[in-house]
Amino acid sequence: MGESRHHRHGRGAGSNPRNRYSAHATSPFDDGWGAAAPTSLRTTVGIDRARRAISYNDSPDIPFDRSVNPYRGCEHGCVYCYARPTHAWLDLSPGLDFESRLFARPGLPELLRDELAAPDYRPAPLAIGAITDAYQPIERHHAITRRVVEILAAARHPTLLITKSAMVERDIDVLSDMAADGLLEVAISLTTLAPGIARTLEPRAASPRRRLQTIAALADAGIPVRVMLAPVIPVLTEAEIESLLTAARDAGARCASYVLLRLPLEVADLFRDWLRTHHPDAAQRVMRHVRDTRGGHDNDARFGHRMRGRGPYADLIAQRFALAGKRLGFESPTALRSDLFVPPQRHGQIPLFTP
């Protein structure tokens, strides 16, 4: 997989580095003809034949132990995305491949229905889009997320939906019914209010203004909304903590959380490259503060440290977030109900009793 240091319009990563499992590498070579201009990069969608729908985790850092992900890779192209290294499992690059070589999982809704119908299944809050955004642009065509939501709604299953896409508004008809029974919370990720930063940081995601409109639309429909400042980037976006929370609260968000910038594995070099290209004057300060919060490293993957960091700088961010949240009157996260669960019939199963 070759690398290109040209940042393409509408793409977050500026290169396509080999993944950590690659046995071969290529290097650019100057043949004297000058650097070629970057070509446009077309998005392709393959099919992932998943064997299971629900992924389980034992992390104490997140409020759910299970999730479903309708897609692999994400066209939003957020350069900081902690999920980029997962493309290495497909022998693809965490760089441009992650945001242009996508995989849909059309069989996932039926798998989910069968797993929910298993006799030993016990309901608990399930997250949609915990790895890659379930409402990324290809959802318009594939509508896998819509089918997943409909299955969870019919089963009266507690659900946490995580997105930064305005497309979630399409499903308000189903989501509002779930919310009315205490079965749903929607978390909207908001990183910056500055259009110029957002345009290169999250090139194909909804604009900050559009996300605030989505928060308002969901709130108006009676759906509890959590705003997630994810990630808070030292120097670059941390000054916006109070203004982001205020804007989200004014739009109708009920509660808030945040994640400090995480740079696992290949993401660190991709993010450095992005900083050098788009914010060269701040690049050294950003990375210095990142290391200050990660024990002198680019990343700290340990439970209890990976989401918030540690040290004086991380503590200051935590204090500012807590004070702003208290002043704005944010509530505790929504407690989702599990007692309404009705196991669905397995895919293709004929009812024992028919009318």
Indicate the burial class of 100 (C-beta count within 10 angstroms; 0-12, 13-18, 19 or more).
Answer: buried
Domain count, the chain: 1
Whether residue 12 lies inside any domain: the answer is no
Whether residue 239 lies inside any domain: the answer is yes
CATH of the domain at 222: 3.20.20.70
Q: 193-236, pLDDT tens digit by residue?
A: 999 999 999 999 999 999 999 999 999 999 999 999 999 999 99
pLDDT for 89 equals 87
Residue pair 153/178 in contact (Cβ under 8 Å)? The answer is: yes
Among 61-75, 180-194, 284-298, 335-349, which is the least confidently predicted range? Answer: 335-349
Indicate the burial class of 262 (C-beta count within 10 angstroms; 0-12, 13-18, 19 or more).
Answer: buried
Residues 74, 71: Cα–Cα separation, whole Å: 8
Whether residue 184 lies inside any domain: the answer is yes
pLDDT for 29 equals 46
Would you place residue 21 in the very low, low, confident or very high pLDDT band (cuts 50, 70, 90)? confident
pLDDT for 13 equals 85
Q: 304-314, pLDDT tens digit by residue?
A: 899 999 999 99
pLDDT for 4 equals 41
Element (H or E) spanning 104, and its range?
strand 101-104
Cβ within 8 Å of residue 69, ≥6 positions away: 55, 105, 128, 129, 130, 131, 132, 134
Give percent of the chain above pLDDT 90.
84
* pLDDT for residue 31 is more than 50: no
Structure tokens at 202: 């999250």
Residue pair 21/12 in contact (Cβ under 8 Å)? The answer is: no
Structure tokens at 324: 């702003």
DSSP state string for 249-272: HHHT--EEEEEE----TTHHHHHH
Whether residue 340 lies inside any domain: the answer is no
Whether residue 1 lies inside any domain: the answer is no
Question: Which residues constitute the domain of residue 163?
Answer: 44-328
* pLDDT for residue 65 is more than 60: yes
Whether residue 6 lies inside any domain: the answer is no
Whether residue 335 lies inside any domain: the answer is no
Whether residue 75 lies inside any domain: the answer is yes
Q: How far is C-alpha 214 from the geometric centre of its chain's CA atoms?
A: 16
Residue pair 336/124 in contact (Cβ under 8 Å)? The answer is: no
